[in-house]
Amino acid sequence: MSFLVSKPERIRTNEASSESIASFSKQEIMSSFLPEGGCYELLTIIGKGFEDLMTVNLAKYKPTGEYVTVRRINLEACSNEMVTFLQGELHVSKLFSHPNILPYRATFIADNELWVVTPFMAYGSAKDLICTHFMDGMHELAIAYVLQGVLKALDYIHHMGYVHRPNASTLLNHSFFKQIKRRASEALPELLRPVTPITNFEGSEPQDHSGIFGLVTNLEELEVDDWEF
């Protein structure tokens, strides 16, 4: 998961940004995993991301033989804003400890790349599960199981004083949420009935998202590809 955090002071150059990230990651080792590229044997590529600047590898941690995931981000190709965003992500990630939030095992710079080491989640993302095992649509129990973990993580994040970074543009038409909305509208029409909107502090009327529809509409703002199992 990604989070909305207060942005640090804007960094003027990519070189200075990379040095800042490198300095941070060396000081903040998140576990006993060593922050050295030579300790990891990169295996197959299992994904891309971050506007194709990030390559995700299945890797083996040589000291123990454990399989991990290594996200490698090309810092030279990142804009100043991207690097500033990454700094915020690294800062926030070390604050959280929850079974439904994927932890960072180590972060460091290797050959002008930011490496982020996380546990290997064998089932992939929620999108992978849908494409592989639920091609005809998820049943209610599977949907409930996925959402339970997401909501537990969100509740923890909110109690910590942070808000998840929305990115609704990539998910508004996602089949996963279409299934939930369709089934909810068929089985629980009363929960989808509009209610009288409450005026907010600015004096304008907020969008009405009540009941199950409201829950799903808000969950659409989360990255399904980031829900790993």
Q: What is the pLDDT of residue 90?
A: 87
Give the CATH number of the domain where residue 72 resides. 3.30.200.20
* Residue span of the structural domain in which 22 resides: 3-119
What φ, ψ does residue 62 adopt, rounded to 5°?
Answer: -60, -40
Low-confidence residues of the chain: pLDDT under 70? 1-31, 163-229
Burial of 23 (0-12, 13-18, 19+ CB in 10 A): exposed
**End residue of a domain, out of 93, 119, 145:** 119
Angle at 197 between CA 194 and CA 200, to 5 degrees: 150
Q: Measuring CA to CA, which residue among 173, 1, 22 is closest to residue 104?
A: 1
The model's pLDDT over 163-184, given as tens digits with 9 standing for 90+, comes to 665 443 333 334 444 554 555 4
Question: 80 and 139, same structural domain?
Answer: no
β-pairing, 163-164 vs 3-4, is antiparallel
Which strands sit side by side in the sheet containing 106-110, from one edge to the other?
40-49, 54-61, 66-74, 113-119, 106-110
Q: Whole-structure pTM over 0.75, yes or no?
A: no
Total number of domains in the chain:
2
Q: What is the pLDDT of residue 162?
A: 79
Question: 162 and 104, same structural domain?
Answer: no
Residue with tokens 């000291």: 63
